[in-house]
Each structure stands twice: as structure tokens, then as C-alpha cells.
Amino acid sequence: MRVNIDKAGNIVILDFSPVQAYKIALHMEKDGIDFYSDLAKQVRDPETQHEIEFLIEQEGAHLETFQGLLNRVKEAVDDKFEEDDIVDYIKARVFNGALEKQEAEKMEHRHTALEEAMNMERRSIVFYDNCLAHSRDVDAKAAFKKILEEERKHLIKFAELLRIKCINSQKGCIL
């Protein structure tokens, strides 16, 4: 992996390995689980709590998927990735936990949990798309494509849940 600074002063990470891709994905899924777990403690609406539990289960399934993929690629390579510093930076850029908690505390209706889940998936997709674009390693590109496929499935699933919820809501909602 290489880290460059572009003309605008942004840090650009290049040339990921598959191991690095999956380790980043694992950290981001764990952050998602932590966020939803914190959110579940704040929400009083039973239906919304049930939905948040579903989101936690989905993130857990992603975690298992990415761990399995990581285990497969780690068998073939020597893993020297010092992930902590770079992952902390990435997490701060993709998921701003403090800001997300503030937003969660302002939940005005029960659709907000799904909307926030969709926003997190969108940010993840943008992040992984950029990682894919800056990866030269064929196996790393394949890893990011697999991660993107999973994140897009999540986004579609959450959007469908929100759509169904809005259709079934007696109060309605704006999509």
C-alpha cells in the first residue's frame, strides 16, 4: 500500500492488497455493529428496535463473509499490514461516529434507523469504489469488487425495507 497526498491536500491510499481490503472491511463492519448497538439503546419504539437488531444481524453476516474471505487470502500471503493507523484514519473519513450519534439522537420518526443505515452503506460504497479505482493489484481489485457487491446488496435490502415500511405505515413517509 502507498499513501500519497493529492493537490488538494487529501490523503490518497493506493495499491491495496486483498488482505488490506478485507481488514478494512472488517473494521468498518465492526464499527457498523457498534453504531447500531448504541442506537438500539436509545430507541424506544419496539418496531424500530427490531429493525436495528436486524441491521446488527446483517452487519454480523457481512463480518462473517469478510472474515472468511480474509482467511482464504491470508493463507497465501505474508501479512505485514499495519492496519491500526490507516484504519483509524479511514474510519474517521467514512464513518464519523460522533456526528452519527448526534444524528441518531435527533431521530424524529421510526424510519430514520433505516435511512441512516442506507447512508452508511452509500458512504461505504463510495469509499470502496475509490479504493477499487486506486488499486492496481488484480486480487485486491477482486476483493474490493466482492466487498462492493455485498455493500450494494445491503443498500438494496435496506431501501426495500424502508419502502415496505412506508407503504405499510399509517402515517406515511417521504422517500
What domains can you pick out in the chain, each with its CATH number?
2-168 (1.20.1260.10)
Give residue 121's pLDDT. Answer: 87
**Cβ 35 vs Cβ 95: under 8 Å:** yes
Give residue 95's pLDDT. Answer: 56
Among positive and negative, which fits the CA dihedral 166, 154, 30, 6? negative
Please give the residue that has the higher pLDDT: either 136 or 94.
136
Cell numbers placing 86: 490507516
Q: Report pLDDT digits (tens) over 129-169.
A: 888 888 888 888 888 899 899 899 989 988 888 888 787 77
Integer Cα distance of 4 and 87 in angstroms: 16
What is the residue-averaged pLDDT of the chain?
Answer: 77
Q: Which long-range contacts (CB under 8 A, 24 or more apart) does 49-53 make?
A: 51/110, 51/113, 51/114, 51/161, 51/165, 52/113
What pTM, to 2 d.p., does this model score? 0.71
